[in-house]
Amino acid sequence: MQTRSVALTAESASASEFRLDGKLAVVTGGGSGIGRAIAIKFAANGADVRILDTNLKGAELTTQEIVQSGGRASSYACEVSDQAKTKATFSQISTQARIHILINNAGVSHIGNVESTTEEDFDRILRVNVKGIYNCILACVGHMKASGGGVVLNMASIAGSAGLAERFAYSTSKGAVIAMTYSVARDYVAHNIRCNCISPARVHTPFVDGYLAKNYPGREKEMYDKLAKTQPIGRMGEPDEVASLALFLCSDAASFITGVDYPLDGGFMNLHG
């Protein structure tokens, strides 16, 4: 049985307990949106960040921003749905340094019900959102076991546990992410590996702006306001707010937390209706 006893002092009660000094964090999908915010937040709090993205240019821009601010980061082109390439990327990273934190953020979205979702659409969503996370955990968990532990944080969604209209494939994939989180947490708790997930509601990212421009040209502001108000708090979340929760869950301050799905939803799940 492991015990952790820390005397609370004015010094230990400071926010320094959320810092990630000496930790290496891998962030998938770190070239934009929530992943970018997490990479920047983690680097600003001492982590050495490895950014994986299919869009290498986006990953490199995030890396450049971090380095110019005095942080440490590097970028890799990686398609997480490809197991061989994912394993090769993680092998390259792990030979350089110990991986302490894995952020499974890379994912794709889809709009449609079961009838309007093609087999190709369904396969694509599961390949990236479910198999991609499986591939990354598979490529990393053995290294974490051998190195004394680590933290895995998966990006889920309230769509995985709430009935959202026209989100059939996406909701299916995020429900799987939540279940995977519980399973990994159970299987690896004895190896000092914690696994949690965050389930955001709508977050204002470039994806949202692109979706509105494509589907509601000329009505972007009107539809943005409508979507924002579906959260009881009256607005969308910001990527930096997701990053702040991620920072806490991956820090030593959260060392007693594993196997938990955290809604970050402006009251959507409990106050809606």
Confidence of residue 8 (pLDDT cuts 50, 70, 90): low
- Residues 134, 170, 224, 262: which is the catalytic one? 170
pLDDT at 13 over 80: no
Domain ranges of the chain: 20-201+239-264, 205-236
User: Minimal CA–CA distance to 25: which of 127, 103, 95?
Assistant: 103
Confidence of residue 1 (pLDDT cuts 50, 70, 90): very low
Report the range of poorest mean pLDDT among 62-76, 85-99, 185-199, 222-236.
222-236
We find that the CATH architecture of domain 20-201+239-264 is 3-Layer(aba) Sandwich (3.40)
Catalytic residue status for 170: yes
Residue 211 pLDDT: 81
Percent of the chain with pLDDT over 70: 94
pTM of the shown model: 0.93
pLDDT of 132-172, one tens digit each?
A: 999 999 999 999 999 999 999 999 999 999 988 999 999 99
User: Minimal CA–CA distance to 188: which of 144, 129, 158?
Assistant: 144
231 touches 201 (CB < 8 A) = yes
pLDDT of 51-110, one tens digit each?
A: 999 999 999 999 999 999 999 999 999 999 999 999 999 999 999 999 999 999 999 999
